[in-house]
C-alpha cells in the first residue's frame, strides 16, 4: 500500500509543485524577454495556462490525500464519535459519486471538443478536460483508501 | 431549484469539501434539466483559462517564501521598533506587522498563519490570554486582503471585469484605516487589562533606523511592484510572478532564511493551497451559470430595489446580508457565488465597482473570521489551540471595530475611490 500512496503523492504533490514552478518561470521569463530584450515569447501564455490547469487538477489529489480540502467540519465535529464515524463514511461515498459524474462529463467533453486547440502549441484543448477526469479518478481512489482506513480504525476499537 | 438549494445546504452541513458542496447540487440541477453533461467539464476547464487567475498561485508562493525566507521576521522587528513601546506592545506589533506582510502576501490565511506561529507564542509567554493573542493574529490578518496585492481583489476583478490595478490602489487607504482601528482597539483593551508595553520607552532613532535598514529588501518590494505596475513593465498578474521570484531570491541569497532543500516543500505546500482555492473557483463557475439560467441576479435585483432605490440603503442591506452569510459560508464561496448576482444590482444603482469590490472583500474577510465557519478562524485556532468559544468572546470588540470600518467605507466612497481616480 505504501508504494501506491507514494505514487499518489508523486501525482498529487510533486507534479503540481513542478508545474507551479514552470508557470512561475515561464511568466517571469516572458516579462524579462518582453521588457529587457524587446522580444516576444509567444508560447508563454499557452504553456502557463496548461501547467496552471495541471497544478489545480493534480493539486486537489494531494489536498484530498492529506485531508486538506476546505470544508465546514463544525457541525460534524459536534456529533458523538459513533454517528460522526458513519457520517465521515457517507462523506467519502458522496465525494465518490460526485467524482464519477465529473469523469462522465470529462469523457463527454473529450469526445465532443475535437477541434479547439492551444494556438501556439497546437495541442488539443481537450487534454485539460482529460486531466480533470484523471484527477477525479485519483480522488475516487483516495476516497476508497480513506474509507478503508476509516473501516480499519472502527474495527480496532 | 428548491431541491438544489436543499442539497447544497445538506452537503454543507455534512462537512463535504466546499468544492464538492458546489459540484453536487450543480450536477443534480443538470441531471434534472435537459443540458449536455459535457458542460460540467467544459465550464470547469474554461474557468481556469484565465491569465489573471495565475496571480493567485504567484502571491501564495510569494507569501510562503516571505514567511520562511526571513522577510516576515525583519518586518516583525521593524514593527516592534515602531509600536512596541505602546500599551499591549506585542499585540500592536502583530497588527502593524500584518500591514507590512499584507503589502506582499495578499492572503488573510497566510498572514494569520504567520502571526499564529510567530507572535502568538511570545504573547502567551508575556501573559496575554491565548484567546486574545489568537484574535490578534486573525483580526490583523484581515488587513492583508485589502492591502495590495490582494488575492480577494484579484478574484473580484476577474469576476466583474474591473481593473485589478484600480482595485489594488483602492485598497491602500482602507488598509491603513483598518490598521488604525485595530491599533486603537488593542490600545483600549490593553490599557483596561494592564497588558504592558514590550519596553518602557521608544527605541532610539538609530536603532529603529537600523531595523528599517535591515528590512529594506522587504520594504522596497511593494514600492518596486507598484512602480513596475504603473510604469507598464508588467500586468498585475505578472507582478505576482515578479513578487514570488523576488521573495525567493531575497530569502535564498540575501537573508539566507531558505535552504535549497526547503524549496520543493514550499512549492508543494503552495501548489496544494492554490489547488484548494482554485478548484472552488472552477466549480463555482458552474454554479454561477446555473444561477444565471435561473435568473437569480434579476430576482435578487428586483428584491433589493423593492426595499429602496437609494444606493447606500441597498449597500447597507447587502453588507448586513453578507455579514450574516459569512458566519456560515466560506468567504471565497460567498464571493464567487454572489458577486455575479450583486454586480447587476450595483451597476444599476451607479455604485463604483472599485468601491464595491473593496467593501465586499472586507466584508467576506470579516466573514472568514466570524464563528462558527471561517477559514481564518480555523487556521488560527488550529495553530494556537484556542477554543472557538474563547475566540468568539475575545473577537467581539475587534469585530465591532472592523464592522465600523466596513460601514465607514460603505458610506464614504471617496475613501476607496480617491486614490484610483487620482492615479488612473
pLDDT digits (tens, 9 = 90+) for B228-242: 777 778 887 788 888
What tens digit of pLDDT does each residue of B85-114 get?
888 888 888 898 888 877 777 778 777 877
pLDDT average, residue stretch B386-396? 87
What tens digit of pLDDT does each residue of B344-362 get?
888 888 899 999 999 999 9
- Taking CB atoms and an 8 Å limit, are A98 and B27 in contact across chains? yes
Find the CB nearest B45 among A53, A59, A87. A53
Chain A residues whose beta carbon lies within 8 Å of the beta carbon of residue B39: 105
Question: B14 at the A interface (CB within 8 A)?
Answer: yes
- Taking CB atoms and an 8 Å limit, are B276 and A55 in contact across chains? no
pLDDT average, residue stretch A71-94? 85
Q: Which residue has the cell 480499519?
A: A152
pLDDT average, residue stretch A64-85? 82
Cell digits of residue A95: 465525494
Res. B73: pLDDT tops 70: yes
Using 50, 70 and 90 to split pLDDT, how confident is the model at B197? confident
CA distances from B376 to B146, B157, B180, B182, B371 (A): 15, 22, 21, 17, 10
Res. A74: pLDDT tops 80: no
Find the CB nearest B48 among A14, A56, A68. A56
- Taking CB atoms and an 8 Å limit, are A52 and B279 in contact across chains? no
Res. B377: pLDDT tops 50: yes
pLDDT at B100: 82
Find the CB nearest A59 among B38, B39, B275. B275
Burial track B350-380 (b if 16+ CB lie within 10 A, e otherwise): ebbbbbbbbbbbbbbbbbbbbbebbbbbbbb
Chain B residues whose beta carbon lies within 8 Å of the beta carbon of residue A24: 57-58, 61, 241, 244-245
Please classify residue B156 by burial: count the beta carbons closer than 10 Å to its beta carbon, then call 0-12 exposed, 13-18 middle and 19+ buried: buried
Res. B249: pLDDT tops 80: yes
**In this structure, how many other beta carbons lie within 10 angstroms of the beta carbon of residue B383?**
18
- Taking CB atoms and an 8 Å limit, are B267 and A52 in contact across chains? no
Question: A113 at the B interface (CB within 8 A)?
Answer: yes
pLDDT at A47: 93
Find the CB nearest B38 among A18, A66, A105. A105
- Taking CB atoms and an 8 Å limit, are B272 and A68 in contact across chains? yes
Using 50, 70 and 90 to split pLDDT, how confident is the model at A54? very high
pLDDT average, residue stretch B8-32? 88
Res. B207: pLDDT tops 80: yes
CB-CB contact of B314 with B307 (8 Å): yes
Element (H, E) at B156: helix B151-160
pLDDT average, residue stretch B259-263? 88
d(C-alpha B29, C-alpha B33), whole Å: 6
* CA-based nearest residue to B198, from B95, B83, B109: B83
Question: B224 at the A interface (CB within 8 A)?
Answer: no
Query: For the whole model, what pTM was predicted?
Result: 0.80
pLDDT at B293: 82
CB-CB contact of B144 with B98 (8 Å): yes
CB-CB contact of B189 with B78 (8 Å): no
d(C-alpha B383, C-alpha A70), whole Å: 16
Res. B53: pLDDT tops 50: yes
For A:40-99, CB contacts with B below 8 A are: 45, 48-49, 52-53, 55-60, 62-64, 66, 68-77, 87-88, 90-91, 94-95, 98
Q: Which residue has the cell 470529462?
A: A106
d(C-alpha B251, C-alpha A102), whole Å: 41
- Cα-Cα-Cα-Cα torsion B48, B51, B70, B361, nearest 10 degrees, comes to -70
pLDDT at B297: 66
Q: How many CA atoms lie within 13 A of A154 on its CB side?
A: 15
- Taking CB atoms and an 8 Å limit, are B41 and A20 in contact across chains? no
Res. B63: pLDDT tops 80: no
Cell digits of residue B165: 490595478
Cell digits of residue A6: 507514494
Question: B1 at the A interface (CB within 8 A)?
Answer: no
Cell digits of residue A75: 457541525
- Taking CB atoms and an 8 Å limit, are A63 and B276 in contact across chains? yes
Find the CB nearest A94 among B11, B36, B271. B11
Res. B267: pLDDT tops 90: yes
Q: Look over chain A and give the mean of its residue pLDDT values, rounded to a whole number.
A: 88
d(C-alpha B113, C-alpha B65), whole Å: 13
Res. A155: pLDDT tops 70: no
pLDDT at B3: 85
pLDDT at A157: 47
Q: Give B387-401 as a DSSP string.
A: -HHHHHHHHHHHHHH
**Which ipTM did the prediction report?**
0.93
- Taking CB atoms and an 8 Å limit, are A95 and B16 in contact across chains? yes
Cell digits of residue B121: 507564542
CB-CB contact of A56 with A21 (8 Å): no
B128 SS3 class = coil
How many contacts does A have with B, using Cβ atoms within 8 A?
196
Res. A45: pLDDT tops 70: yes
Q: Look over chain B and give the mean of its residue pLDDT values, rounded to a whole number.
A: 85
Amino acid at each position: 500500500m505504501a508504494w501506491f500512496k507514494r505514487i499518489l503523492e508523486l501525482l498529487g504533490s510533486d507534479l503540481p509543485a513542478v508545474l507551479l514552478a514552470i508557470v512561475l518561470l515561464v511568466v517571469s521569463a516572458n516579462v524579462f524577454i518582453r521588457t529587457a530584450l524587446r522580444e516576444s515569447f509567444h508560447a508563454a501564455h499557452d504553456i502557463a495556462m496548461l501547467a496552471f490547469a495541471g497544478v489545480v487538477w493534480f493539486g486537489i489529489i494531494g489536498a484530498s490525500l492529506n485531508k486538506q480540502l476546505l470544508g465546514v467540519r463544525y457541525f460534524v465535529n459536534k456529533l458523538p464519535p459513533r454517528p460522526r464515524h458513519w457520517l465521515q463514511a457517507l462523506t467519502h461515498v458522496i465525494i465518490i459519486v460526485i467524482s464519477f459524474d465529473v469523469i462522465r462529463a470529462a469523457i463527454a467533453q473529450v469526445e465532443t471538443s475535437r477541434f479547439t486547440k492551444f494556438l501556439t502549441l497546437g495541442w488539443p484543448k481537450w487534454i485539460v478536460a482529460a486531466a480533470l477526469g484523471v484527477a477525479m479518478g485519483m480522488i475516487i481512489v483516495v476516497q476508497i483508501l480513506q474509507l478503508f482506513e476509516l473501516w480499519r480504525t472502527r474495527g480496532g476499537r | 431549484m428548491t431541491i438544489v438549494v436543499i442539497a447544497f445546504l445538506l452537503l454543507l452541513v455534512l462537512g463535504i469539501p466546499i468544492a464538492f458542496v458546489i459540484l453536487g447540487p450543480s450536477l443534480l440541477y443538470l441531471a434534472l434539466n435537459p443540458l449536455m453533461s459535457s458542460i460540467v467539464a467544459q465550464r470547469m476547464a474554461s474557468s481556469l483559462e484565465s491569465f489573471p487567475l495565475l496571480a493567485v498561485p504567484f502571491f501564495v508562493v510569494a507569501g510562503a517564501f516571505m514567511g520562511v525566507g526571513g522577510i516576515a521576521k525583519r518586518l516583525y522587528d521593524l514593527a516592534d521598533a515602531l509600536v512596541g513601546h505602546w500599551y499591549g506592545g506585542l499585540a500592536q506589533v502583530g497588527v502593524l506587522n500584518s500591514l507590512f506582510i499584507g503589502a506582499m502576501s495578499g492572503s488573510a490565511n497566510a498572514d494569520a498563519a504567520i502571526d499564529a506561529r510567530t507572535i502568538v507564542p511570545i504573547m502567551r509567554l508575556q501573559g496575554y490570554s491565548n484567546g486574545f493573542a489568537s484574535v490578534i493574529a486573525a483580526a490583523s490578518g484581515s488587513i492583508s486582503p485589502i492591502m495590495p496585492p490582494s488575492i480577494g481583489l484579484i478574484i473580484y476583478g476577474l469576476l466583474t471585469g474591473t481593473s485589478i490595478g484600480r482595485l489594488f490602489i483602492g485598497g491602500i487607504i482602507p488598509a491603513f484605516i483598518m490598521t488604525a482601528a485595530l491599533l486603537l482597539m488593542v490600545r483600549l483593551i490593553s490599557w483596561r487589562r494592564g497588558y504592558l508595553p514590550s519596553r518602557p520607552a521608544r527605541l532610539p532613532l538609530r536603532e529603529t533606523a537600523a531595523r528599517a535598514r535591515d528590512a529594506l529588501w522587504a520594504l522596497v518590494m511593494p514600492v518596486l511592484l507598484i512602480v513596475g505596475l504603473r510604469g507598464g513593465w508588467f500586468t498585475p498578474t505578472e507582478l505576482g510572478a515578479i513578487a514570488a521570484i523576488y521573495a525567493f531570491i531575497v530569502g535564498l541569497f540575501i537573508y539566507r532564511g531558505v535552504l535549497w532543500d526547503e524549496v520543493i516543500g514550499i512549492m508543494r505546500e503552495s501548489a496544494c493551497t492554490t489547488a484548494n482555492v482554485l478548484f472552488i473557483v472552477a466549480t463555482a463557475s458552474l454554479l454561477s451559470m446555473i444561477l444565471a439560467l435561473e435568473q437569480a441576479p434579476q430576482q435578487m435585483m428586483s428584491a433589493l430595489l423593492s426595499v429602496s432605490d437609494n444606493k447606500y440603503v441597498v449597500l447597507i442591506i447587502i453588507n448586513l446580508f453578507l455579514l450574516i452569510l459569512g458566519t456560515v459560508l466560506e468567504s471565497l464561496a460567498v464571493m464567487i457565488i454572489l458577486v455575479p448576482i450583486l454586480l447587476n444590482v450595483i451597476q444599476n444603482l451607479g455604485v463604483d465597482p472599485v468601491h464595491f469590490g473593496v467593501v465586499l472583500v472586507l466584508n467576506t474577510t470579516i466573514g472568514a473570521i466570524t464563528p462558527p465557519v471561517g477559514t481564518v478562524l480555523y487556521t488560527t485556532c488550529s495553530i494556537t489551540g484556542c477554543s472557538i468559544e474563547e475566540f468568539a468572546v475575545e473577537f467581539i470588540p475587534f469585530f465591532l471595530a472592523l464592522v465600523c470600518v466596513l460601514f465607514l467605507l460603505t458610506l464614504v466612497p471617496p475613501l476607496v475611490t480617491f486614490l484610483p481616480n487620482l492615479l488612473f
